[in-house]
Structure 1
Amino acid sequence: MKVLSLFKVLLILLAGLSIKGCSASISSPLGNQENTADYISRYMVSNQLPAPETINSIQLYRKGDTNNPPIIELGSAQKLILAFDELTDISGQFRITFTHYDQNWDESNIPQDWFLEGLNEIILGEGTKNQSSPPSYFHYRTEFPNNQLRFATSGNFMLHVSDFSSGVRLFSLPFFVTENAGEMTSWIETDYNAGPRFEARDRPFSNFTYPEFIDFPQFDLSFYFVQNRFWGDARKTENYDFSEKGHTQFYLSGENAFPANFDFIGLNLETFSVDGHQIIDWIPGENPPEIILREDILNFTSNPLTAWGSTFGNPKTSAEARYANIRFRFQDGGAFTSKQGVYLVGDFNQWIISEKNKLEYNQNSGYWETSALIKQGTYTYKYAIKDGTDIDDLILSDYITRRNQEYVSFVYFNDPEYRYQRLIHIQVFRSD
């Protein structure tokens, strides 16, 4: 940990006083982006800006495997990969910047040189143009940290991608830098028939041996769990035990437990051709081309993916990869009404419930239908019901069967000397 001067301590105290009471929300300098609060998504965290329609096939993962979560260890050689497409005929240029947050995704307001060494900027350009049929797009990829930019503290971070010429902020993504201090073991205890539909509920547990620099763990440590990388649905633990010196156990209550039946529908778009299984029609003459999927049927479509491990999907990165308008059709058997609203959510749209993802009821076919522009690759998706302010994204899930879920356990340390939240340990585990 970098030695910090008294001058820096004074700086952070003054910074905290100067912004007290101000909103930490992120918005475009030109005011033409909607606020995160206008969207509903398990994935998106507070103050995160969703991508516009011109930005597609976003990925953020730890280098080595596209299924890795966006988590790196402080001071290590690990790197994160950011990749995305811009749907345009002209190559663009982007500026990437970074901000630091506390465990609740409120901006931490510590000076930049506390959390970042080097320039807070990556200039990204020279995208790879697609060599396939329309629509035209450029593919961009970069990795960080690098020789010009390194993270100096642990914690919750957000990267922000802006248009280089106009300065307009386009989108932002969360990631994590951990100190990997201490030791942890985690597991799941399942309570059956415990949910509102008598479904099983998962209660994550963790045993943590904390490092010696923590003097008052009951006051300075806090603990969170996340299911299936939906960072926006992180749940703080209400139960913990500090009775054994140097150790603590923390876990969720039954009321705050996660659904054990959360599953996903797999979407295989590796090739754009009729496969008789999922793709029933392929219309290459359209611009862009169109694909019609076999209809999904309420409570008969759910296809849990045991190898699931990414909220971004796996779009193809070759210059020959194409986009198509994918037509989704959902048969509800008359269970829903237009008042409720049926929405398509998936890793191709940041799991966002918004009007552009809403299905319309087709009187002739008897299906709820919508289209989404998606690149060749493999993805997961679900349908969600929105009734007023109530969201149900488990409507296609089997209420009885327990599924294999991925969980992430977080331990934060409220540093009493420098007054910011350090992320001292993360563990990824499954409910096998």
Structure 2
Amino acid sequence: MKYRIILLIWIIPLFVSAQQTYPFDPVNQIFDQDILSVKITNQDAQFGLPIITLNSNEKFKLVFDDLEQYDRYLKYTLIHCTHDWQFSELNPIEYLDGFMEDEVVNYTFSFNTIQHYTHYELIFPTDLLRITKSGNYLLVVYDTDINHPVLTRRVMVMEPSTVGISARVEPATDVTYKETKQQVDFIVYSGNYIVRNPALYLHATIIQNGRWDNAIMGLTYRSLKPGEFSFQYENLNKTLFSGGSEFRRFDIRTLRNLSDRIVSINFKDRINQAYVMEDVARPFGAYETDPTLQGACYWKNNDFRGENTEDYVLTHFSLKSDYDLSKGDVYVFGELTDWNLDSDAKLTYNPNTRYWETSLYLKQGFYNYQYVYVPKGSTVIDETYIEGSHWQTQNSYTVLIYLREEGTSYDKLIGTTTINLQQ
């Protein structure tokens, strides 16, 4: 016990002096090319945004693989952020109780796989590192010290007492976008919360399918009644999202047989390889119903039982397009690329096959994906240029409500709801 007390005394000055000076941005990133298959959720949920309730038994669960297959001395900490994901003004001692950092000690090695790896699992908060305030947090996993990050993840902690939210998704009310976009409207019922100066201190965020790149942040109420704040923007188009198309999919849970949308499997160059059925661009195609995971994935090996038996597979993609793609870049996109523009996921044109092609090193499992287009000179992702867009697409939307109460200097997360299009 003396050792832990002494260590805490040393750690607190370290983090206080380093406040708001970090070699990374408050976004989801992987800094080490050997780190793959990262996922963080509420421990009790396989999918969905990582959200837990303050002062409850709920915990986050982070998993990832390290292809180096040796046990690193990894640590983690949390950094409090504002409603729009800037580092907040709070010091760690204001939102963490116990240690300001802790170790990632739970790891196991892959079993009977061609690709060896170390599988890490982190369940938190713990008795050694507790969270005392709600809001947005950036989880940082690092090697030795925080200036050497391995990965970062956005997580959210919600107040035990929450506001009521009545939300709906529908086709855009603006006739210009009625066939291609979806509109999210909602009303917040403040309940026991006293909301002073709501135009400045009450904010909402909308997230589509767990994507942060197209999240709508900083929304303020449009109209109010006693205890009700309306975020119904109608024809102002402030809460519109492209409907897109249902995600494509493939299944590499088995390497013994050809499964859903896999046309070939082989062992070449000392690695497992799988070829996804050739895809075709569909910007003007009719809407097709196809139940999906809304861009997500999960890992499983149907060939062997036991933990960490999932192998890695070099998975090949090919896209045929009759439309000009030369004025931008095309990427495979989804949770399989961490919802980022991964350089490995960028397709190049093969004049011999006349397909756009790329390959990704993926863990055995079931995957959703789509093709996105980024015009040259832009960083904005266009998921409609290749996939098309339809109001009927079954997207998932999460609404987050934040409040900065009078006399405080941080944004509380006071409510959340997740909804889908109701046809």
User: Which residue of structure 2 lines up, in the alignment, with residue 422 of structure 1?
Assistant: 412
Q: After superposition, what is the alpha-carbon deviation per residue over 1:309-348, rounded to whole angstroms, capped at 9, x for unaligned? A: 574x212382211001001111112x13444222122212
Q: Contact 1:62–1:71 at 8 Å: present in 2 too? A: yes
SS at match of 1:113: helix
Write out per-residue CA displacement over residues 242-274 of structure 1, whole angstroms, 9 at most, x where no aligned residue.
541111111343254111235311221111244
1:130 deviates by 1.1
- Quote how far apart the aligned CAs of 1:391 are: 3.3
**CA shift digits 1:345-374 (9 cap, x unpaired):** 221221221433211111111111111000
Identify which range, 285-294 or 233-242, moves more after superposition. Answer: 233-242
Relative to 1, partners in 2 of residues 1:428 and 1:391: Cα closer, same or farther, differing over 3 Å? closer
CA distance in 1: counterparts of 2:120 and 2:194, whole angstroms: 42
Which of these residues, 268, 273, 276, is aligned with residue 290 of structure 1? 273
Written as runs of structure 1 = structure 2, the 5 A alignment for 1:31-430 is 46-125=26-105, 127-164=107-144, 168-179=148-159, 180-191=161-172, 194=175, 199-210=179-190, 211-236=192-217, 240-252=221-233, 253-275=236-258, 277-299=260-282, 306-308=291-293, 311=296, 313-316=297-300, 318-333=307-322, 335-388=323-376, 389=378, 390-400=380-390, 402-430=392-420
Q: CA deviation at 1:151?
A: 1.2
Runs of 4+ in 1 over 6 A off after TM superposition: 300-304
Mapped to 1, the partners of 2:260 and 2:43 lie a distance apart of: 33
Aligned mates of 2:315, 2:332 — CA distance in 1: 12
Amino acid at match of 2:141: V
Question: Which residue number corresponds to residue 5 of structure 1?
Answer: none
Q: Spell out, residue by residue over 1:74-125, the C-alpha distance to the aligned partner (whole angstroms, 9 max, x if none).
A: 1111111000000013222311111000011110021212211221222113
Cα distance in structure 1, aligned partners of 2:397 and 2:37: 24
Unaligned 5+ runs, structure 2: 1-14, 302-306
On the 8 A contact 1:193/1:199 being kept in 2, the answer is no
CA distance change for structure 1 residues 181 and 240 in 2, over 3 Å: closer, same or farther?
Answer: same
Q: Distance in 2 between matches of 1:94 and 1:301?
A: 49
| CA offsets 1:262-299 (integer angstroms, 9 cap, x no match) | 53112211112442651111112432211111111111
Residues 1:61 and 1:310: Cα distance change in structure 2 (over 3 Å): farther
Q: Is the 8 A contact 1:74 1:178 kept in 2?
A: yes
Identity over aligned pairs, percent: 22
Instruction: Tell me, in whole angstroms, the C-alpha distance in 1 between the residues paired with 2:273 and 2:102.
Output: 36
What value does the CA root-mean-square deviation take over the aligned residues? Answer: 2.9
Kept after mapping to 1: 8 A contact 2:280/2:319 = yes
Could you tell me how far 1:182 is from its partner in structure 2? Answer: 2.1
Name the stretch that deviates more: 323-332 or 356-365: 356-365
Query: 2:258·2:265 contact (CA, 8 Å) conserved in 1?
Result: no
Q: Secondary structure at the match of 2:33?
A: coil
What is the one-letter code of the residue matched to 1:416? E
* Contact 1:67–1:309 under 8 Å retained in 2: no
Letter in 2 for 1:336: D
User: What TM-score comes out, normalization by structure 2 length?
Assistant: 0.85
Name the aligned partner's letter for residue 419 of structure 1.
S
Q: Which runs of 5+ in 1 are unaligned?
A: 1-14, 28-34, 37-45
Whichever residue aligns with residue 300 of structure 2, its letter is K
Q: Helix, strand or coil: the match of 1:202?
A: strand
Q: Which residue of 2 aligns with 1:30?
A: none
Distance in 1, matches of 2:343 and 2:196, equals: 50
1:320 and 1:403 mapped to 2: Cα distance?
35
Matched residues, number: 395
Instruction: Provide the secondary structure at the position in 1 that maps to 2:344.
Output: helix
Shift of 1:189: 3.0
2:172, 2:181 within 8 Å by CA — same for their partners in 1?
Answer: yes
Q: In terms of mean alpha carbon deviation, does 97-106 or 410-419 score higher?
A: 410-419
Tell me which amino acid in the other structure corresponds to 2:265.
Answer: W
Q: Distance in 1 between matches of 2:286 and 2:128?
A: 48
Between the aligned partners of 1:302 and 1:189, the Cα distance in structure 2 is 16
